[in-house]
Amino acid sequence: MTRVAWVTGGGSGLGRALALEMAHDGWAVAVSGRRDGALRETCSRGPAGHIHAVPCDVRDEAAMARAARDIEAELGALELAVFNAGTADTAPGGEFQPGVFRHTLEVNFLGTVNGIAAVLPGMRQRGRGQIAMTASLAGYRGLPTAAAYSASKAAIINLAESLQLQLRGDGIRVSVINPGFVRTPMTGQNAFPMPFLMEPGPAAKAMYAGLMGGAFEITFPRRLAWTAKLLKALPYALYFPLLRRAAGR
């Protein structure tokens, strides 16, 4: 029986790489995003008939619910849902603009919430399934110039922790994916050095291995992940001066 998965943000970057990795391992993968052309490109790169484009805006709760119903009607019951769509908006000149925070949270956090709401009833009814959400190592601590992005990813980590405790008895596994820097269109906007930058292919393999192993937290690359975990454990009296020096502030 073919396993069925749903990957949002599947039109490019890490979402596309994960969809391809899963399709080559025999999954039927539905990929969602706002750009139909990009989704079709993802489909064309995979084995014939294994990747299916389901255009959808993660910010639209009703549209996400329809997408989940359409996927299950066409492909079968969802075994795995990976809510990976994300954005890293910044305001010009580093200004503090509520609109940037609103849009970032709508895509990164509420888009994930909308996806979970769409698949959770079916998984609960079947008593099985896996929900994965892409956060970031940037969600561990507040970072300079990345307040909106870091806050949205911290919210996803907290959400995943809560759902891990809440859904354990329902037969539903929860995973949170905390990548470092991966070469994607989104990180291509960064004007600063990105240590241990990974290519999408190896990053997707690490993500897939973690998902198939049932890990709660999936982190990569290893060296950057351990550095981030160390920073997370530091008291504020050490963390703030260290980050100020690193950022030249």
CA angle in degrees (0–180, nearest 5) for 188-192-198: 55
Alpha-carbon torsion angle 7, 13, 19, 20, nearest 10: 170
* Residue 220 contacts residue 229 (beta carbons within 8 Å): no
Instruction: Find the DSSP H helices in 31-110.
Output: 36-45, 61-75, 98-104
Q: Which residues are catalytic?
A: 149
What is the total residue count of the chain?
249
Which residues, 6+ apart, have CB-to-CB distance to 237 below 8 Å?
Answer: none
Which residues, 6+ apart, have CB-to-CB distance to 4 below 8 Å?
Answer: 27, 28, 29, 30, 71, 72, 75, 76, 77, 78, 79, 80
